[in-house]
Structure 1
Amino acid sequence: MLLEGKKGADVVMKVGEETFYAHKIVLAMRSPVFDAELYGPMAMWDKEKQCIQIVDMQPAVFRALLHFIYTDSLPAMDDLLDSHDKREMIRHLLVAADRYAMDRLKLMCEAIL
């Protein structure tokens, strides 16, 4: 419920044309990369806008990454048309897991692939 609602969200993330609301502390606790981006000495976000622009990632992949961060599980992928689409999503999610240093998610994606 924390992920689905905006209550208490203190960071906004733009991924393509979509906007996601999240909680900095949750992101930082689950990913050392988010920790450095949000709380490190060279924080890569605008402190007045509290917005992060995520580039080189599809919104659906980022949504799945956020789902994992908040729930420690992969999202249901019933909306994907076939097994090829699911494998493609898992491949993109593996890249995202590597980018944000999320080892458990990487292992889960590798096991599926």
Structure 2
Amino acid sequence: MFLVEDSEIPAHGLVVATRSPALHEEVEWATGMDHVKIDAMRATVFKAILHFIYTDELPHVDDLVPVVGGDSTMIAGEMLAAASRFRLERMKRLCENLLAENITPKNALATLRIVGRHGCTELEGHCVEYMSL
């Protein structure tokens, strides 16, 4: 059981450990405890991580906007950060693609800030190129 914000989120430890080495480390660290506490992340974003772990697909970001507020760029950025944190490289690439497909003059700078923190050099270059047009 994971505890994220105030939400208890069930998951199969073996499945999670198999798909994410970083989450496996957190599960191992919490051995003997009732919950694995995940800090600095919204419960909705952690549920998106689990959705990916179980299905190998991103959840529909537009479905998450009403739940957490903000916009799809912000949520895709949070999912990218979470994927980076938990070393889910395929999810990270999918988030990068999602951000690249939805870049606009309005969100290009925000996207650049997001990807710059997570080593997304290709998307970072795309943002810079987009902003220089």
TM-score (structure 1 length as normaliser): 0.77
Cα offset for 1:18? 0.9
Over alpha carbons, which structure has the higher Rg? 2
Cα offset for 1:57? 0.1
Q: What does residue range 13-92 of structure 1 map to in structure 2 within 5 Å? A: 13-38=2-27, 43-49=28-34, 51-79=35-63, 80=65, 85-92=71-78
Name stretches of at least 5 consecutive residues in structure 1 with no aligned partner.
1-11
Query: Residue 21 of structure 2 contacts residue 87 of structure 2 at CA under 8 Å; is this kept in 1?
Result: yes
The answer to which structure has the higher strand fraction is 1
Name stretches of at least 5 consecutive residues in structure 2 with no aligned partner.
100-133
Secondary structure at the counterpart of residue 57 of structure 2: coil
Query: Residue 26 of structure 2 contacts residue 36 of structure 2 at CA under 8 Å; is this kept in 1?
Result: no
Which amino acid in the other structure matches residue 60 of structure 2? A
Which structure exhibits the higher relative contact order, with contacts defined as CA atoms closer than 8 Å and separated by 6 or more residues? 1
Are 1:99 and 2:85 matched, yes or no? yes
Aligned length: 95
Corresponding residue of 2:116: none
Which amino acid in the other structure matches residue 60 of structure 1? T
CA distance in 2, matches of 1:111, 1:92: 14
User: Alignment RMSD, CA only?
Assistant: 1.5
The answer to which structure has the higher helix fraction is 2
Secondary structure at the counterpart of residue 19 of structure 1: strand
TM-score (structure 2 length as normaliser): 0.66
